[in-house]
Amino acid sequence: MIVKSVMLALTLVGVLGVQGSTGDCPEFPYQPTNYQEDNRGQFHFSSRGGWMNDVNAPLYYRGVYHLYYQHNPHGLAWDTMHWGHPTSTDLVHWRQKPIALEPGVHPGDLWSGGGVVDTGNVTGLKTGDDDPIVVYSGTDGVTVFYSLDGGNTFKSFDNGRKVVKPPAKTSRDPKVFWDPDSRRWGMVVWSDQDGNGVDFYTSTNLLDWSFASRYQGDWLFECPDMVRMPLDGASHWVLSAGSGEYVVGDFDGTTFKTSWPTPQKINQIDTYAGSDYYAALTFANLPANRVVSMAWQGGNHGSTWTGNASFPVEERLKSTPSGPRVLSTPVPEIASLRTSTQSWKNLTLDSAAARRLLAGVTADTYELDAVVDVRQAKQFGFRLHTSPDGWFDKDVVYDASNGLLDGAVMPAHDGKVKLRLLVDRGQLDVFGNDGEVYQSHNVNFDSLPGGDGVELFVDGRIQLESLRLHELGSIWKNRSESTLSTNIAGLWYPASGTWSDVAGGKQGESSGDAFYLSKASGADFTYEGDVKLASGTAAALTFRANKDASKHYTVNLDADAGVVKLWRPGRDIATSPLTVERGRTYHFKVVAQGPSLKVSLDGKQAIDATDTEQSAGQFGVNVFRGTGVFQNLRIS
């Protein structure tokens, strides 16, 4: 497969363009889908089309979560790796973006890797307002790619030079992390030199790396992660493998050490490449030392896609009698998906009463959490997606006699256990005792009518302290694919003109004025974005608009008049001379404070004006008698 991938990559060099530039690639936009195919997860991310495997370089930057992943957009099986790319503003609702790394445009085999945001510009690569986003890929040596537009498009560093030279044997899957104690960056890379293990490298500038040490472990096979977590007033390091096996230890800036003789598992299922949990990575650059992880689930597929990402979990260390353990729970942002809730409290239930409790409940995608006293029970659990004939798609069982949740050790605490389930169309996540047990499964839940019941079953007697069932809405509902990168949370809509998604962003065309608006609004703010007049007269940022843009402020590039102009209906407020180049991208920044309206273009002030007509309103973009392309719209 590697030979086949390399040959295809070489073939595509002439088709897709030169290194460092993004062409009009056939991969994007993807074929239309409403994400409602049978078995397609409704709150687990899956690629709009094509094959998905390992999570790559998850990171957070200026209000946006970026998830990259191993991707074959041309088929439903592994072949010719690209880096797919969705983004989210809440870790829950994801939007598919254009390919981030692609053969022919970017050198190398583009296999799995990690990435960080260079907030201090230690690379020296920064040229504008955006911090460089630096990602690492490659097998048998590491190559670097960097983005200067917020993680959307990437260039190769130094024409694809290997910044880490190949070791004696196979290596791959670089993951980069920051060590605040040594004030250096670290990189962990899997290799099989003298058996499975990882090599550690260090750097002060993210570009020049020095070998530091090696940690050996038969269990430590590919896709390593290295993350720092607090526990009991101290910091510890967690080193994990693609299987989710991990050890906790110390890192002195060059060497990792642990007293653990054997690893533990983050996810307590049988994990291997292609299983229902593999190749998890933690997000870089999260605020407040938050640790969030996502993995690849390989057992989900349909007619247009293969594989999905696990629902993001928040990880923390907890002290136990056996030592520190990683606990995982769903990110709290899941609450935004809850559309309705049913609850039950303080009930004593035997087998018959338990079976009657949920007899009238039906649900398709939902979250279920329960607190149960099991001191009088042999076992209890839930049967999911039941039908009147007694069929069910999956059950989750707590064995109270042996303290096991679906085979994973989970003792009761003071006679009680907590159980939390996330039930999707093609996925089931099981959490026990606030994350002591975490299991993820691909399950083909029957989405047809008549098979969406839920049943509580008991052997013996339980005291049901609480039970809640939250129905969860779809992350795809009322959300179409968009290439527009923005942290403006409101729903966007075309107020006039023709608007479409192209590789470079959101494109508008009109023979007159056309507006594309967000429902989000503001009064005092900084609003900035990239504006390109592809053809015609003018392209612009719009702000303080009403819903149909009959009232607004707009600052545009007017190629016919040769000016930057700030205007509103009925008045041209101010202009500044500029020879506008069609096809060039300009960066606008608008600072609105009461009647004061200041406009900068490419970092230089162009307009300083006042106007009292509009004190607040919606954000948007505008094109006039031509075609404009807009990207990286941000408010602060």
* 282-339 residue pLDDT tens: 999 999 889 999 999 999 998 889 999 999 999 999 999 999 999 999 999 999 999 9
Q: Within 13 Å, how many C-alpha atoms sit on residue 481's CB side?
A: 22
Supply the pLDDT for residue 26.
Answer: 57
Q: Where are the domains of the chain?
A: 2-330, 334-472, 492-635
Sign of the Cα torsion 268, 273, 278, 281 reads positive
Q: Per-residue pLDDT for 231 more than 60?
A: yes
Q: Span 478-482, mean pLDDT?
A: 59
User: What is d(CA 296, CA 56) in angstroms, rounded to the nearest whole number?
Assistant: 10
User: What is d(CA 130, CA 468) in angstroms, rounded to the nearest whole number?
Assistant: 44
Supply the pLDDT for residue 479.
Answer: 56
Q: Per-residue pLDDT for 450 more than 80?
A: no
Q: What DSSP line would sit under 95-127, residue for residue?
A: EE---SB-BTTB-S---S--EEE-TT-TTS---
Angle at 113 between CA 107 and CA 115, to 5 degrees: 100
Judge whether 162 and 156 are in contact, CB under 8 Å: no
165-199 per-residue burial string, b: 16 or more CB within 10 A, e: under 16:
eebeeebbbbbbbebeeeebbbbbbbbeeeebbbb
The answer to whether domain 334-472 and domain 492-635 are alike in fold is yes
Least Cα distance to 101 among 152, 34, 30, 48 occurs for: 152
Q: What is the pLDDT of residues 146-180, one digit of tens each?
A: 999 999 999 999 999 999 987 778 999 999 999 99
Q: Span 222-243, mean pLDDT?
A: 97
Judge whether 430 and 441 are in contact, CB under 8 Å: yes
**For this structure, is 393 an active site residue?**
no
From the centroid of its chain, how far is CA 445?
A: 24
Least Cα distance to 44 among 389, 549, 416, 429 occurs for: 429
Confidence of residue 448 (pLDDT cuts 50, 70, 90): low
Confidence of residue 485 (pLDDT cuts 50, 70, 90): confident
Q: Helix (H, G, I), strand (E, B), or coil: what is residue 311?
A: coil
Confidence of residue 449 (pLDDT cuts 50, 70, 90): low
C-alpha distances out from residue 195 to 94, 105, 190, 241, 501, Å: 39, 34, 10, 14, 48
Supply the pLDDT for residue 1.
Answer: 30
- Cite the beta strand spans of 180-304 per DSSP E: 184-191, 197-203, 210-216, 225-231, 234-240, 245-251, 256-257, 264-265, 278-282, 292-301
Please measure the distance between the N-terminal and C-terminal CA atoms of the chain and give it in whole angstroms. 47
Judge whether 19 and 159 are in contact, CB under 8 Å: yes
User: What is d(CA 465, CA 344) in angstroms, rounded to the nearest whole number?
Assistant: 8
CATH of domain 2-330: 2.115.10.20
Q: Within 13 Å, how many C-alpha atoms sit on residue 469's CB side?
A: 18
Q: Per-residue pLDDT for 435 more than 80?
A: yes
C-alpha distances out from residue 158 to 134, 144, 172, 391, Å: 13, 8, 20, 60
Supply the pLDDT for residue 447.
Answer: 62
Judge whether 214 and 200 are in contact, CB under 8 Å: yes
Confidence of residue 502 (pLDDT cuts 50, 70, 90): confident
From the centroid of its chain, how far is CA 257?
A: 31
Percent of residues, the chain, with pLDDT higher than 70: 94
Judge whether 325 and 408 are in contact, CB under 8 Å: no
CATH of domain 492-635: 2.60.120.560
Q: Span 552-571, mean pLDDT?
A: 97
For 558, the enclosing helix (H) or strand (E) is strand 553-558
Percent of residues, the chain, with pLDDT higher than 90: 85
User: What is d(CA 182, CA 254) in angstroms, rounded to the nearest whole number?
Assistant: 9
Judge whether 260 and 246 are in contact, CB under 8 Å: no
Averaged confidence pLDDT in the chain = 92
Does the reported pTM lie above 0.75? Answer: yes
Q: Per-residue pLDDT for 11 more than 60?
A: no
From 54, 225, 364, 558, active-site residue: 54
Q: What number of other Cβ atoms are within 10 A of residue 414's Cβ?
A: 6
Q: Span 493-515, mean pLDDT?
A: 88
Supply the pLDDT for residue 480.
Answer: 54
C-alpha distances out from residue 293 to 208, 331, 332, Å: 27, 10, 13
Bond preceding residue 29 cis, omega within 30 of 0: yes
Least Cα distance to 5 among 131, 129, 126, 108 occurs for: 108
CATH superfamily of 334-472: Exo-inulinase; domain 1 (2.60.120.560)
Q: Per-residue pLDDT for 605 more than 80?
A: yes
